Amino acid sequence: MPLKMRIADSYDQPVWQSWLHDLPEAVAQFPEKSLLQGGRNQLFRCRFEGVDLVVKRFPNDGGWKKTVYRIWDSKAKRSYLHTQRLNQAGLSSPAPVAWLEAWEGQWLNESFYVCLFVPFEHEARKLHQLHLPQREEKARLLGHSLAKMHCAEILHLDLTPGNLLYTPRQSSGWDIQIVDNNRMRFGPVPRRAAITSLAQADLPDDLLSPMLSTYAESVRIPVGELEKAYRRRSRGYALKWRIKNATRPLRRKIGL
């Protein structure tokens, strides 16, 4: 099966090239305990050459998807390139190692994204737990990180709580690792899109003020104006999310 790949410079060595070449067949032999997430796309944790890795496999099933990915970059390639953009902007995301595409003739069969494994304390959804320590500090950090992203003209289109991972810094405080980066847009971020990103994070009501005030201060807009726009947008986003969840089985059945 023809392969296309790109390896980060620090890993571009024959031993890594060989491992990646065998990855489409090897992933089927990964032990069950290595599976971090199943479903439409699979997420695995593994170790190679003493390096802890995450491998995300994107199957490309269905005629519609196969046609689309003759034109668009694969999800694995976009994950690699978008993560580079985040890192270059000073935002944290596990360092990319490689992307790999397996083709059958002119059709993409599946793709793989490989990055470093970064241990984390919890996802952003845990901020709903009132006993969690330093909740307000973490909400402010989220507001600052999103402002930094938008000022760098990066819009993450899937910034849900499960894609925001809190990791303790070696000295003190926290960092946010941003993951699942295949869906992004680049260029000036419109106000409505920026507020949608804030709503996607789904913070509890008592943490909205710390997040929004930090964001407003960072991008230099009145916090009252932002809070009013957030309330309007969050209601619309909640409705959109309910519709999306209700139609998910049908969309997956037809390959969307």
- 51 and 151 housed in the same domain: no
How far, in Å, CA of 127 to CA of 74, rounded? Answer: 33
pLDDT tens-digit map of 70-103: 888 999 999 999 999 999 999 999 999 999 999 9
For residue 242, give every residue at least 6 positions away whose Cβ sits within 8 Å of its Cβ, in sequence order, or none. none
Confidence at residue 245, expressed as pLDDT on a 0 to 100 scale: 53
Burial-class residue 172 by CB neighbours within 10 Å (0-12, 13-18, 19+). Answer: exposed
Residues 50 and 171 in one domain: no
What's the whole-model pTM score? 0.89
Domain count, the chain: 2
**Is the model's pLDDT at 65 over the cut of 90?**
no
Question: Tokens 């990915």 belong to which residue?
Answer: 69
Read off the pLDDT of each residue in 60-68 and give the average, rounded to a whole number. 76
Tell me what percent of the residues of the chain surpass a pLDDT of 90: 77
CATH of residue 222:
1.10.510
108-154 per-position pLDDT tens digit: 999 999 999 999 999 999 999 999 999 999 999 999 999 999 999 99
Domain range enclosing 42: 3-116
Task: Please tell me the least confidently modeled range out of 41-45, 176-180, 190-194, 252-256.
Answer: 252-256
The domain that contains 16 carries what CATH number? 3.30.200
How would you class 26 by CB atoms within 10 Å of its CB: exposed for 0-12, middle for 13-18, buried for 19 or more?
middle
Candidate from 19-23, 63-67, 110-114, 144-148 with smallest mean pLDDT? 63-67
Q: Using the 3D structure, point to which of 77, 95, 116 is the last residue of a domain.
A: 116
